[in-house]
A and B are shown apart, each in its own frame.
Chain A
Amino acid sequence: AQSVTQLGSHVSVSEGALVLLRCNYSSSVPPYLFWYVQYPNQGLQLLLKYTTGATLVKGINGFEAEFKKSETSFHLTKPSAHMSDAAEYFCAVRPSMDSNYQLIWGAGTKLIIKP
């Protein structure tokens, strides 16, 4: 069965420090990969997505993610954290050749920014 694992329900970093949010997936076929962000009392907003081609994907707000097929990972990074990055981040996978094409979601990681 397909699954998505986000390591760490909470991640705390200092303002200005590197942000690294981990996402590993299991999929029997090449997947489409997504990162979403959810701010308090709001819906989810697409940060970036991987389809095919370049494995380093740039998104909004200075975030980027790298698809590593050998590691079945799609970790999200940002070089320098800002207070406004405090939110919950979700990784999602859609197996590209699966007839049941609903997104499979990770449990989410809450990013805490320390001043």
Chain B
Amino acid sequence: KAGVTQTPRYLIKTRGQQVTLSCSPISGHRSVSWYQQTPGQGLQFLFEYFSETQRNKGNFPGRFSGRQFSNSRSEMNVSTLELGDSALYLCASSLSGQGHSPLHFGNGTRLTVT
């Protein structure tokens, strides 16, 4: 079974621009979560989608948004980029996103904002 695929792997953007990151979950997984990982803040939860609906949201500004399509693929968008948005963005899929159902992570998109 193919794993979680994130594209692109690396991205360099300028302050003020916007960016869209893509995530294809494992086949059959309906839950997709997004995380931001930085050396200083560790893993921070952005949001989770299940069956095209945002089910949970972390404490990030409205510049961070996402969506999920009917095939469970998900995109994350960041508008008006700031230097502090430089991070590794990780997508994780799960069968249900609940209980003991574990997360399966992609290799991430490393975003650099200059």
Contacts and interface: CB of A to CB of B under 8 A. Distances in A.
Given A43-B105, A51-B100, A100 B42 contact: no
A36 B45 CA distance: 16
Given A94-B99, A105-B43, A41 B105 contact: no
A103 interface: yes
A101 B101 CA distance: 11
Interface of A: 32, 34, 36, 41-46, 49, 51, 90, 94, 96, 100-103, 105, 107-108
Given A51-B99, A96-B99, A102-B33, 14 more contacts: A34-B102, A42-B108, A43-B90, A43-B106, A43-B108, A44-B92, A44-B105, A49-B100, A51-B100, A94-B100, A101-B56, A102-B56, A103-B103, A107-B42
A48 to B, nearest CB: 10
A49 B99 contact: no
Interface size class of B (residues with CB under 8 A): 20 to 34
Interface of B: 4, 6, 33, 42-43, 45, 48, 56, 58, 90, 92, 97-100, 102-108
